[in-house]
Amino acid sequence: MTVSFLLSPEQEQLKAAARGFAEDELRDLAAAVRAEADPLSRALLSRPVFEKAVAAGFLKGLIPAPFGGTATSGVDAAIFLEEWAVVSPDFVISMAGPLIALAPVYQVGTPEQIERFVPPFLAESGTPVAAMAFSEPDGSANFDADGPGQGIRTTAVLDGDEWVINGRKAWASHLCGWDGDGPDIMTIVCRTPGGVSLIVAERAHLAGRIEVEEHYDLPGLKGALTTRVRLTDVRVPRGNLLGAEGQGAPLTRNAFLPSGASIGIFATAAMRQAFDIAYRFALTEKRGGPVPIIEYQAVSDVLADAKGKIEAVRLLAWRALDAVISQHPSGPELALHAKIFGSETGVDVINDLVKIIGVTAYDQSYPIVGCLMDALSYPIIEGSNVGVRRRQLQTLFRTPGYDPLSASGMA
């Protein structure tokens, strides 16, 4: 078997289309977002562009082909995620909700559930959004704790043929939907009598039962519609339970595998953008000296180290996302490495690139500081590296029969 790291002609076309959309639509959006002070107003700026992305078929690119989408490989998804995230990572995060929220549907959904929950995201018009209602205001690292631990506090109890859900959720993009009445699909991690479970609420169930407590004003990813919400007596059909009661913990962990791998893509995009800014600065700026500063070894060394790390993270993240989407056994471990190594390398690399530019970079109007603000979120979103992701790796390492070479394919 021949292994090639070259993009196919179809993937080159996808890259060109994604890059063209980013330049034509996302660059102006990103500038408008930076200029808007109110967090809700700036998040809503993306809706017309979101509609264009849906019409262009990009949302289908996040839905696996067996379920009617066009995602056939993680590399395809990674290509357009990177091209967009270079320009507007917050837009990509807003659009990528189905990657997480629908993952449990693909895994354990009944044919009837799949038929109801997936089609809104196969549409060629509109602005459908999905949210995985997992995180809670008081923290969720120990979401499946029992006994003395509180774990998930959101509850669901049966009343006849309906689940009645009460609790508070935070951080997931589009928890409130575009208008405060909720997204098209909300996959809710909650505690039922049988344990931690997943229940899907559709928009009709949420309207009038969801209250926005706060629109978060983030230092980075400023265009993402990020809120804290309260769910009060949300009534959902009994048949919207995914899998069995008590199955929610492993389903939730699996749902965050694609997003973990994707964080490596986001980190790559942030480093790529920051490198471009620092490289152009070094090529043209003399800073009072006789030659551009790239002629000095100290500057060139920083650029060389940064470029090597960018390429390494890209290859890891692309492979991780491809393994996750194809459900290869290496997927869980590679996704964790892409999340942890990718996000932390991203922060380190961009911080080093800032030093090339110096104090000029500390001006909020200078673009590289935005790359850093975005990158600072990546170690702590989609499962904090310290509280969640490294613990998952620890569990994996302690699994009987674990082979250190298995993820590399060299076992």
Q: What confidence tens digit (pLDDT) does each residue in 261-294 have?
A: 999 999 999 999 999 999 999 999 999 999 999 9
pLDDT in tens, 73-98: 889 989 989 999 999 999 999 999 99
Question: What average pLDDT score do residues 352-374 get?
Answer: 95
Number of domains in the chain: 3
Cα dihedral: 173, 263, 387, 170 (round 10)? 0
pTM: 0.94
Q: What is the pLDDT of residues 139-187, one digit of tens each?
A: 888 888 876 667 899 999 999 999 999 999 999 999 999 999 999 999 9
With a CB cutoff of 8 Å and minimum separation 6, the contacts of 156 are 163, 164, 165, 188, 190, 191, 192, 197, 199, 236
Question: Residue 1 has what pLDDT?
Answer: 41
Specify the length of the chain in residues: 411
Residue that has been written with the tokens 């959004």 in this structure: 129
Identify the domain boundary among 185, 218, 246. Answer: 246
Q: Is residue 356 part of a domain?
A: yes
Same domain, 253 and 390: yes
Locate 111 and state its tokens: 């044919």
Return the percentage of the chain with pLDDT > 70, whole number: 99
Q: Which of 54, 88, 121 is the C-terminal boundary of a domain?
A: 121
Decide which of 246, 269, 287 is a domain's last residue.
246
What are the backbone dihedrals phi and psi of residue 245, each rounded to the nearest 5 degrees, phi first?
-55, 140
pLDDT, one tens digit per residue, over 41-64 is 999 999 999 999 999 999 998 899
Q: Could you tell me if residue 403 is inside a domain?
A: no
Q: Report residue 91: phi and psi, to 5°.
A: -65, -40
Task: CATH number of the domain at 303, please.
Answer: 1.20.140.10
Residue 407 falls within a domain, yes or no? no
Identify whether 402 is part of a domain: no
Residues 99, 62 contacting (CB under 8 angstroms): yes
CATH assignment of the domain containing 91: 1.10.540.10
Pairing of strands 185-192, 130-133: parallel
Domain carrying residue 75: 9-121
410 within domain boundaries: no
Closest CA to 345 of 318, 307, 381: 307
Task: List phi, psi (to 5°) of 295.
Answer: -75, -15
Mark whether 214 and 280 lie in a shared domain: no
Residue 281 shares a structural domain with residue 357: yes
Displacement of CA 99 from its chain's centroid (Å): 8
pLDDT at 16 over 80: yes
How far apart CA 89 and CA 198 sit, in angstroms, is 28
Taking 90 as the threshold, does the pLDDT of residue 364 lie above it? no
Longest Cα–Cα distance of the chain, Å, equals 80
Rg of the chain taking only CA atoms, in angstroms:
21
Mark whether 90 and 23 lie in a shared domain. Answer: yes
- Give yes or no: residues 23 and 106 share one domain: yes
Using CB atoms within 10 A of its CB, is residue 411 exposed (0-12), middle (13-18) or buried (19+)?
A: exposed
Q: Is 240 in the same domain as 146?
A: yes
What is the C-alpha separation between 101 and 344, in angstroms, rounded? 25
- pLDDT digits 0-9 by tens, 250-260: 999 999 999 99
Same domain, yes or no: 317 and 254:
yes
Are 256 and 209 in a shared domain?
A: no
Stated as kind and residue range, the H or E segment containing 282 is helix 248-284
Say what the pLDDT of residue 309 is.
Answer: 98
**Within a domain: 409:** no
111 and 137 in one domain?
A: no
User: Are 302 and 257 contained in the same domain?
Assistant: yes
Q: What is the mean pLDDT of residues 389-409?
A: 93
In a domain, 346, yes or no: yes
The answer as to whether 319 is a domain residue is yes
